Structure formats: structure tokens, C-alpha cells
Structure 1
Amino acid sequence: MDILIACDLGTSSCKLTALDLSPAAGAARILGTASRPYPTHHAGDGRAEQHPQDWLRAFAAAVRDLAGAGRLTGLCGLAFTGQMSAALLVDGAGEPLHPALIWSDQRAVRETQAAEAAMDGQAFYALTGNRLNATYTGPKLAWLARHEPAIWSRAARFVQPKDWLVARLTGVTAMDHSDASCTGLYDLAAGRWSEALFELFGLPRALAPDLAEAATRIGALKPDMAGVLGLPAGLPVILGGGDGPTTALGTGIAPGEAYASFGTSAWISVLSPAPVIDPARRVFSFRHVVPGLYAVTGSTQNAGSALAWLLDGILQSREPGGDIDAALAATPPGADGLLALPYLQGERTPVWDSLAGGAMVGLRSHHTRAHLVRAFIEAICYQLRLILDTFADCGLTPAELRVVGGLASQPKVMAMLAAILRRRLVRQKAHAHATALGAGMLGAIALGAIEAGEATGWAEAEAAFEPGAKIAAFERGHAAYAALYHAVLPIQAMLRGA
């Protein structure tokens, strides 16, 4: 009984990783993986919603995929992680009352402004480690209270995506501290829900689920769900943590070290023994899944999601990965003077503007689809450079970054990112599964298979990318990109009628 299923309930798909925890395996060995997608429903009002039943269907299908591949013999447990900052209300039976407002939903701008009028933004930041923004759960819940009174009257709890799935499997509703610290309702220093913050957003404290550490054996698989999944009833279920802090564990970084996640969204995190207070409130701090540590983070809303919009929606590419590789091979650094601002879902670090929109500058008749693709990839890399520059302003200057996420699989993209960030990048061996690997570490700790201090030994490096000589086109591009948002802001305001 040494096989653990780690589930990463991400933004675009449910990803499962089967891990061998047997002592003979040494560090956990990945036996197999499975992934099933689900849609996000967008609209021009800032809407970004997902249906919880889609999460459950994707999870069940991925379990069947692993079972069909013969990877589920000798199961010892299920461990979870998932996307953060969502808002999902459930009734007393744990049934979802509406589609989940995921992290990228930006409709709660008015609620954010009302909260900032009632509480100084710096005080909120000092209390929560986060700034007041529509990204977070508190404003989203306030938006639901104002716009969906019929739903609100039936609400018993709010949960995060992984917590809803865990509750569906076990009947136990709880939230770990890392996920709670990304809601805007959590006192970061005290490590508990804040009564004052619930009052700030006009929310009843009774909606908050109980808190537990991420490496907690929260319950056992119920017989009805065991029948649906084809798994043994009573299987231990580990609560797990939010995907950002869980990925920090999965990369094996120590305090003072950093990693970058380069996927649907993208972020850079530095592990710290204390929250970092940025006077300009550009970076934010989460509770780490390991008690006593914090993940200091700068994040962009628009990475793989922006590329998917361009490749799938606009260019209708059938082979996105091949299109990326071909575009970088066919075009020079700087994309022949084409610069993109990929703010398709607002933006976080460093501008924190929920209403920000995208732009293309320098477009000429000789530009091709390859130039468009390169411009978008360069823009995402420039945005990460802005985040790294922001860390430097806060006294955080990591010499290298461990890199994970789907885009890390592209060597040309990694080489470009190293050149733009001016940092050595180390791609992790499990770069496509680092978040699930972190969940597996939490599961192994909860089940007593390893001690907490042993978990980071599972992380292995695969390849390194050096920054090399400065590339003038990238330096010019980065300087222009840093000015672009502010240059187009008045024009975008005019278009909105602001």
C-alpha cells in the first residue's frame, strides 16, 4: 500500500500524478500521470467562471485513466492542491449554489473600492499580506451578496476548489492556511480568520470553513464516491494546500531561494521566514504549506492563458507547442519592432489594475503570425522581469530561479526567459508536475511516510539555462514594455468612458 494519488485541480485541467512512496523507491517516483481539461466561461464584464461538477467529472475521468494504465494497485491515499482565490458558496449539504468565480474573475471592482473607502489599503495589506483587489475571495463574496441574493440566502460555507472536491469525497469541509491566506479574510500574523475583515466586506463569519494545516489527513473516501471512482472506500484523503505554496514545496526551495511557475498564469515566489511588506503593495505574502514560512509572491494574470487566446482563439493553431518553437526560430529578438501588452484579464504585480486591457504596438504590414507569437512570449517574459525588478526593490535578489510549468518544457522559451531575466534558470525534472509533487509531499508527511524535513529532497533538477551576454533587443524591449501600460492607460480609460 505505497501508491499515492496527488491531484492538482488547476485553472485549465485536473492533473493527477501517481507516486510510489515505498522505501525502495527512495525519493518518490512518478509512476504515471493523467490530465482532463475543463472550460472557463468568460464574458466582457470580467467574468471567469467554472462549474464544480466539471472538476468532479475531470477528476473521475483522470482516475479512470490511471486505473486503465494499471497505476492504482496498492493505493495508500489521495492528496490535493488547487487554484487559489476563488469564491464558491455551498449549501448545508455541500452542494454548489453557483458557478465558481475563479481567481481571474474581475467583477468585484466596486466591492474592492468600497472596502478601500472603509479601511486604509496599507492597513489591509499589513493585516493580510495582500492588497485590496478584485482577485481575492472577500470582494468576490461581497459581489455575490449584492448580485445573487437568492443564492446568498442559502449559503452555508464558502470554499476553494480543492476544498469542494475534498468535501465531496469525504463529507468534511475545511480549508488549509495557505489557501485561507489568499482570500483577503485572514489575519496573516495571527494565523486565523479575521472578524474585522468579514465585517469590512459585510460577510457573516459563519460562512468561513474550519482551518487545518495542509499536511492533514482530513477524512476518508466515502462509499458512494468510492463507487463512482472505482477506488476503495475508506482511503485516506489529505487536505493539501493552495497551488502556489504547494509548488514552492514541490520545487524544493529553501528560505531565501526562489522559483518561477510558467503556466496558465505565471508568478515568482521567494521563500521567507517572515512576510515581506512592500510600501507600494506590489508583492504579496502567503502562508506556506510548511508552518512558520511564507511564500512572498509577485504574479501575472496573463501567461499561458494569453498565449492560448492568441494561438487557439485568434490564430487557430493546431499545434501550439510547435507554433511557439517555429515562431521563435523564424523571428529575431524584439519581433522586428512589435511589442505586445497581454493584459487580457486585468493585471496584478506590479500595476494591480483589474480593468487593464491589452495592446499591440509597432504593428506593420511585414509582421506575420510568427511575429505575433514571439511578441506575446516576449511580453510574458518582460512581465516576469517587472516582477523580479519589484522583488529587488524589496531587497529580494535571488541569484537563480527554479522553473516549473508547461511553458518550461520549451527550450527556446527558457533560453529567452534567462536572457530577459538576467538570471540562471534551473528547470525541474518534474516541471510539468511540480504542484502535484508538492501535494504528494504533503500526503506523504500526513501519512507518516516521510518527515517534513525530508520532503524537499524529492525535487530534482533537469537542465540549466544561463543568461549569457546581454541582448540589446531584449533590453530595449523591456524598457519599452515597462512604459507601455502607463502610456496606453489614458487611452483605455477614454474607451471605457472613464
Structure 2
Amino acid sequence: MLYVGVDLGTSAVKLLLMDGSGKIEKIVSREYPIYFPHPGWSEQRPQDWYEQTMEGLKELLADCDRSQVAGISFGGQMHGLVILDKDDQVIRPALLWNDGRTSEECDYLNNVIGKEKLSEYTANISFTGFTAPKILWVKNKEPENFARIAKIMLPKDYIAYRLSGVHCTDVSDASGMLVFDVKNRCWSKEMLDICGIREDQMAKVYESYEAVGNVLPEIAKELDIPQSVKVVAGAGDNAAAAVGTGTVGDGMCNISLGTSGTIFISSEKFGVDKYNALHAFAHADGHYHLMGCMLSAASCNKWWMDEIIGTKDYAGEQKAIEKLGENHVYFLPYLMGERSPHNNPNARATFIGMTMDTTRADMTQAVLEGVAFALRDSLEIARALGIHIERTKICGGGAKSPLWKKIIANVLNLKVDVIESEEGPALGGAMLAAVACGEYASVEEAAAKLVKIVDTVDPDPELVAKYEERYEQFRQIYPACKGIFDVIR
């Protein structure tokens, strides 16, 4: 049988076709625009998502035996707010995860409602990107639109609705809304009241590997696929990517070096750190995960290479880096503020430690190391919770650099496993569809059979010791600069 994974990203939808053995038959991608109506605002039209997804599905399935298509599932950009009226029409463009308009609403949630209450209700505190402050923004700034809301949805779930007719979401994506009781995997009545919304306005919650229904007859006809094709709940992009890298079960770890950076730790048990520096979310495997998210990771290196030193020869620049663990230059990678662990939108990127003998290679090395040190900040919080991690998978564009993988392995003192097929949320979505259709008994079984490790980067004890000293210096820089970040704008 054949399974489709749909990764609804911020700039494009990526669609992947996988057979039951895990072989990837075809991948297609379709772009759509982002709108920035005001500085700091970020919106998209859900209709654009749907149209490009449908066109992508037609292209994806054009050359296969479409009678063999059994299931469609999703990974998708998290936190976005999609609101529908009583006729299931989109009321306004979706507010995206990287939309920054909700600072007032976040202040209200964190400081008036209080972080302790938020953590009690949802296991998390408020960030500008989360969905609850967006709901409050619409309530406060667009009351006429708020009054029309019949359903509140997340981006990928709107596509699932258009394909199946079911208003649905999954536990992992719902976890990032700040209206979901993560521990008990249900909507938080307290948070619904705070946001001024009702439970019947929310989508029905499913586990990520559960079918929500079948494709609508008109969809089956348009795509020339059986009406028996299952539409499966899917997962938020990070949880779906974790499935695709085999980061499921207890104590598994994945580091993503994409535009943003994440350290994702799966756990059979629910847990929250007392400072809420890490996100505590439900996982797509039926259990839980902790996640540290830094807003600028591989994008730091792209910025440094493209905008500052003006080159596309990323590998060439890294060849000049020879003395790991001995760099006297440090870089705080907060180009867009920072989420984990500081939750400070005012934080800024900073070079410190330059002298007259500082070289271009030192600066490049500092950027790579700064991202690794910032990821370790989140890892240290997980370790403080008693979570023992010895190795991690790695994915994302930055993971293509052998040098960066070596730096990560030694800064974090982890074995870094490189996997054979790094297709992220789209592959995870296809795997979830295969589980829902009975191809595999569980998400863990699918991951064990389909995800293959092809290389491992081992930490070097001598280099680990050098980076331990450097990290202790790095972690003192942000507290020293924090007061300055609050006044420079």
C-alpha cells in the first residue's frame, strides 16, 4: 500500500509518497506566499495552503497506482490561528507561529493570569507565537471577527478538515496552543474560559496515529483515489519530524539544525521543568516530549555567510577552522530574540571576545559554537530533571556540515547519529498514516523498522573537556548582557 505525508511548512507544502516498506517513491513541493501587513505581523491564506496541497497531491500521485493509496497524514507548522464561521468559511488570514503582534496578550497571560496558573493548566507558559494570545488578540482588536468564530483550528488541521470534513486536531499540535491540558490530553476548561471561548468551538482531539475519517467523495473523485483512503490526524512539525527520525519511546533525543533549532526529548512520563524553559508537549507516539526551541540556528550561519562576509561557500569557510575548543570569540545566537530557555524577545545576537589577532575563521567558528552552546542550555535543563541522554539523532540543513556535527557532539557530550533518510515532517506524516492503516502496530515499531542510522559522530574526551570550560564562560554572557538588551531597541 501507499501512504502520503503532507508537511505544511511556512514557505511551502512538501508532499511525500512512501510504500509500506518505507521506500520513498516521490517528493513534490509547492510554495505559497506569506503576508506581512504590519511590521512584526505574519499571515497566510488557508485557501493558499489548500490549493497548493491539492495541486501537489495531483502531481505526487500522477504516476503511481492510485488504487493502492491507503492513508494521508500530516506534519505542519504549529501555533497558527485559523478561525472559521458557522458556514466553515475562513474569517480572516491565519496568524502564523512567527507573528509577533501579541506581546500585550502574552504579558496579560504570564503576569496577570500568572505563569504558575498557566503551567498548572497547560504545562507551559505564554510565548508570542502560541495560539492562546492570538485568540485574545482577535478578541481585543477584532471583536467583530471574534464574535463570528464557530471553530478554531491549526494550519495542518484545516487541510485535514478540507479533505475529510472533520474538525480535528492531534495532541502534539494542540499542546502548542496554550489551551490544552497536556498531562491529561484534553482541552483546558480554565484556559477556554480565560480566552472567552467554548469547548464546542475547538476541534476534536485525536492521537497523532488515529484516523479522523476518510476522504470526502468529491476529494476522492478529484484525486482519483479510493473513498476508503484514511485521513489521519498527524502531528505538529517537530513531533512529526521526531517520528521521521525515530525519536520515539523513552529517553530518545533529536536535534534539528534548521532555520530555528530544537532539541527534542521523548519520554514515556509527563514532566515539566519548574522554570518552564522547555516546552512540555504530548508526543505523536502516545506519550510526551520536552522541547527546547531556539529561534535562530542554521539561520545564524546563513546570516553570517550571506549578509556579513558575502559568500555561498559555506564548506570552504569551515575548512579554515582547525582548533576546536580553543576559540576566544563567543557568539550569542539571538538574531530574532530567544525562546528556550530565556523567553526574551528583546535578546540580541552578540559577538564578544575579539582581539587584534581574531580571524575570519574565528568568527565563523564562534557562530557554529554559539548555536551548539545555546542548544546545550536546553539540554542542561532536561538533565536537571533527571533525564539521562547519551546520544541524539540530528537533522536539518545545518546537519549537512561534518564540522558542525562534530562541534555539537563535543559541546553537548553526546553521540550524534546520522540517519539515512532525512525528510522531516513529511516522512513522519507518512509513517503515522501507515500506523493508522495497520501497516505497523505502533509508532515505535514503524520507527524501529524504517529509520536507519548510517553514521555516528562520537565525542572526543579531550575536546569535551575543552568545550566544558568554554561553555561555562558562554553561559555567563547572557546574564551580563540582559540588562542592555532591555534598553537597546
TM value normalised by structure 1: 0.87
Query: Superposed, which structure 2 residues align to 1:31-430 within 5 Å?
Result: 31-41=25-35, 45-67=39-61, 74-225=68-219, 235-252=229-246, 253-291=248-286, 293-311=287-305, 319=312, 323-332=313-322, 333=324, 337-362=328-353, 373-430=364-421
Residues 419 and 467 of structure 1 are in contact (CA less than 8 Å); yes or no, is this contact kept in structure 2? Answer: yes
* Residue 446 (structure 1) aligned with residue 436 (structure 2): yes
Residue equivalent to 2:452: 460
Distance 2:347 2:221 in 1: 46
Q: CA deviation at 1:271?
A: 1.8
Residue equivalent to 1:481: 474
Residues 320 and 361 of structure 2 are in contact (CA less than 8 Å); yes or no, is this contact kept in structure 1? Answer: yes
Q: CA deviation at 1:65?
A: 4.3
Q: CA deviation at 1:342?
A: 2.6
Residue equivalent to 2:487: 494
Give the SS at the match of 1:495: coil
Distance 2:447 2:483 in 1: 47
> Closer, same or farther in 2 for the Cα pair 1:12/1:471, shift >3 Å?
farther
Distance 2:180 2:15 in 1: 29
* Residue 10 (structure 1) aligned with residue 15 (structure 2): no
Q: CA deviation at 1:68?
A: 5.5
Distance 2:28 2:466 in 1: 40
**Which sections of structure 2, spanning at least 5 residues, go unmatched?**
none
> Closer, same or farther in 2 for the Cα pair 1:67/1:442, shift >3 Å?
closer
Amino-acid identity (%): 28
Matching residue's letter, 1:246: A
Distance 1:14 1:143 in 2: 27
Give the SS at the match of 2:177: coil
Residues 75 and 241 of structure 2 are in contact (CA less than 8 Å); yes or no, is this contact kept in structure 1? Answer: no
**Which sections of structure 1, spanning at least 5 residues, go unmatched?**
none
Give the SS at the match of 1:279: coil
Distance 1:395 1:109 in 2: 33
> Closer, same or farther in 2 for the Cα pair 1:372/1:163, shift >3 Å?
farther
Alpha-carbon displacement from aligned partner over 1:456-488 (angstroms, at most 9, x marks no partner):
222211210011131677455533432332222
> Closer, same or farther in 2 for the Cα pair 1:115/1:405, shift >3 Å?
same
Residues 263 and 291 of structure 2 are in contact (CA less than 8 Å); yes or no, is this contact kept in structure 1? Answer: yes
Distance 2:260 2:385 in 1: 22
TM value normalised by structure 2: 0.89
Alpha-carbon displacement from aligned partner over 1:260-316 (angstroms, at most 9, x marks no partner):
22223221222222221212221221112233x111222212223444445556666
Q: CA deviation at 1:433?
A: 1.2
Residues 223 and 234 of structure 1 are in contact (CA less than 8 Å); yes or no, is this contact kept in structure 2? Answer: no
Worse-superposed segment, 144-153 or 330-339: 330-339
Q: CA deviation at 1:53?
A: 3.4
Distance 1:407 1:283 in 2: 22
Q: CA deviation at 1:407?
A: 2.2
Distance 2:4 2:52 in 1: 14
Q: CA deviation at 1:109?
A: 1.9
Alpha-carbon displacement from aligned partner over 1:63-108 (angstroms, at most 9, x marks no partner):
3443466586732221111122222222234333333222232322
Residues 106 and 354 of structure 1 are in contact (CA less than 8 Å); yes or no, is this contact kept in structure 2? Answer: no
Worse-superposed segment, 334-343 or 483-492: 334-343
Residues 32 and 71 of structure 1 are in contact (CA less than 8 Å); yes or no, is this contact kept in structure 2? Answer: no
Matching residue's letter, 1:426: D
Give the SS at the match of 2:454: strand
> Closer, same or farther in 2 for the Cα pair 1:391/1:190, shift >3 Å?
closer
Alpha-carbon displacement from aligned partner over 1:135-185 (angstroms, at most 9, x marks no partner):
321112112222223332332222111101111222221111221122111
CA RMSD of aligned residues (A): 2.9
Residues 78 and 237 of structure 1 are in contact (CA less than 8 Å); yes or no, is this contact kept in structure 2? Answer: yes
Matching residue's letter, 1:261: S
Residues 325 and 463 of structure 2 are in contact (CA less than 8 Å); yes or no, is this contact kept in structure 1? Answer: no
Matching residue's letter, 2:273: D
Give the SS at the match of 2:176: coil
Worse-superposed segment, 450-459 or 40-49: 40-49
Matching residue's letter, 1:381: A
Worse-superposed segment, 120-129 or 466-475: 466-475
Give the SS at the match of 1:302: coil
Distance 2:34 2:447 in 1: 33
Count residues in correspondence.
Answer: 484
Residues 46 and 345 of structure 1 are in contact (CA less than 8 Å); yes or no, is this contact kept in structure 2? Answer: no
Q: CA deviation at 1:233?
A: 5.6
Q: CA deviation at 1:216?
A: 2.3
> Closer, same or farther in 2 for the Cα pair 1:356/1:201, shift >3 Å?
farther
Residues 74 and 425 of structure 2 are in contact (CA less than 8 Å); yes or no, is this contact kept in structure 1? Answer: no
Matching residue's letter, 1:489: K
Matching residue's letter, 2:432: L
Worse-superposed segment, 66-75 or 45-54: 66-75
Alpha-carbon displacement from aligned partner over 1:388-438 (angstroms, at most 9, x marks no partner):
1121222112011122223223222212211221211001212x2143232
